[in-house]
């Protein structure tokens, strides 16, 4: 049974439109997510679905206990506070981010990335922040800068803590972007010939050196993270690091390839609650 699920993931989810080699059909994002959940339920029968928001910590009670202790007095509170000050500081025209973001920026992060029909592409929450800045006469942030948009995001995403991830893939162009992100996730690359799925599907729960590898379900709900205490890492920063670790040239952050990958990746956490700015080793 487990082998059949793996084969389904490696074929249908690779964008080939095949289900166990029997029928040709488009696998919806919900079907893709359910296939992953079934696979992990077989591999980790004692892990509850809601605990996947903790990543690899859900597989190691000792590490989870350490995480809980650290999160009582997070060592990165000052950075989140700096993000709050950026969020509340008015632009030169007197307006703020809350004035131009949906719902004042609250309970929206779980909707992103989303496919913007007017632009004909996937946009991330960081793109929306930069659009807000430009609309108010400010220069856009460099998308990968942890000291500006990273810090701002560390606070802004806390305004959506507890929101259920709700990535929508509707319409042919959105589906094409989702499928492109799925292909990126399952395509091998680099000198090591690894795909994202090589670690986070087939080898989830195994050790890579001293670290447990996390499952893909639940991964997208908790970014940005603070690694080792106070080093801020955004989700696309992490993608860049993974590409480099397998000795592949990473696409530029905020490129179509990266945004489509985040689109697919985030959809695999649909239905789980957001929890931003957390500690990771």
Q: What separation in angstroms does the CA of 33 have from each of 120, 169, 281? A: 25, 13, 26
3-state secondary structure of 194: strand
Residue 82, both tokens: 């700096």
Give the strand pairing for 114-116 and 121-123: antiparallel
102 phi and psi, to 5 degrees? -55, 140
Residue of 100, 132, 196, 242 with catalytic role: 242
Edge-first strand order for the sheet with 231-233 is 231-233, 225-227, 278-280
DSSP string of 219-278, one letter each residue? GGGG-SEEETTTEEE-HHHHHHHHHHHTT-PPPPTTSHHHHHHHHHHHHTTTTSB---SE
d(C-alpha 265, C-alpha 273), whole Å: 15
- Which tokens is 239 given? 């993608």
242 is annotated as an active-site residue: yes
ω into residue 86 within 30 of 0, thus cis? no
Mind telling me the catalytic residues? 242
């Amino acid at each position: 049974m487990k082998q059949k699920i793996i084969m389904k993931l490696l074929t249908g989810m690779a964008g080939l439109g095949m289900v166990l080699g029997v029928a040709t059909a488009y696998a919806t994002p919900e079907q893709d997510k359910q296939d992953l959940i079934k696979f992990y339920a077989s591999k980790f029968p004692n892990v509850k679905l809601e605990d996947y928001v903790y990543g690899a910590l859900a597989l190691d009670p000792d590490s989870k206990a350490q995480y809980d202790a650290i999160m009582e007095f997070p060592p990165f509170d000052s950075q989140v506070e700096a993000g709050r000050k950026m969020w509340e500081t008015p632009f030169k025209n007197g307006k703020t981010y809350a004035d131009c973001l949906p719902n004042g920026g609250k309970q929206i992060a779980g909707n992103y990335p989303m496919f913007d029909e007017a632009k004909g592409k996937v946009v991330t929450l960081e793109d929306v922040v930069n659009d807000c800045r430009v609309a108010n006469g400010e220069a856009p942030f460099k998308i990968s800068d942890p000291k500006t948009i990273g810090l701002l995001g560390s606070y802004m995403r806390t305004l959506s803590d507890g929101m259920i991830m709700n990535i929508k893939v509707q319409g042919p162009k959105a589906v094409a972007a989702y499928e492109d992100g799925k292909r990126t996730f399952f395509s091998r690359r680099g000198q090591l010939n690894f795909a994202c799925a090589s670690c986070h599907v087939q080898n989830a729960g195994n050790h890579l050196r001293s670290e447990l590898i996390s499952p893909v379900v639940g991964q997208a709900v908790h970014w940005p993270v603070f690694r080792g205490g106070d080093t801020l890492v955004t989700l696309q920063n992490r993608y860049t690091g993974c590409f480099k670790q397998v000795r592949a040239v990473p696409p530029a952050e905020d490129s179509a390839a990266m945004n489509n990958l985040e689109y697919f990746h985030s959809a695999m956490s649909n239905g789980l609650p957001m929890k931003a700015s957390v500690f990771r080793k």
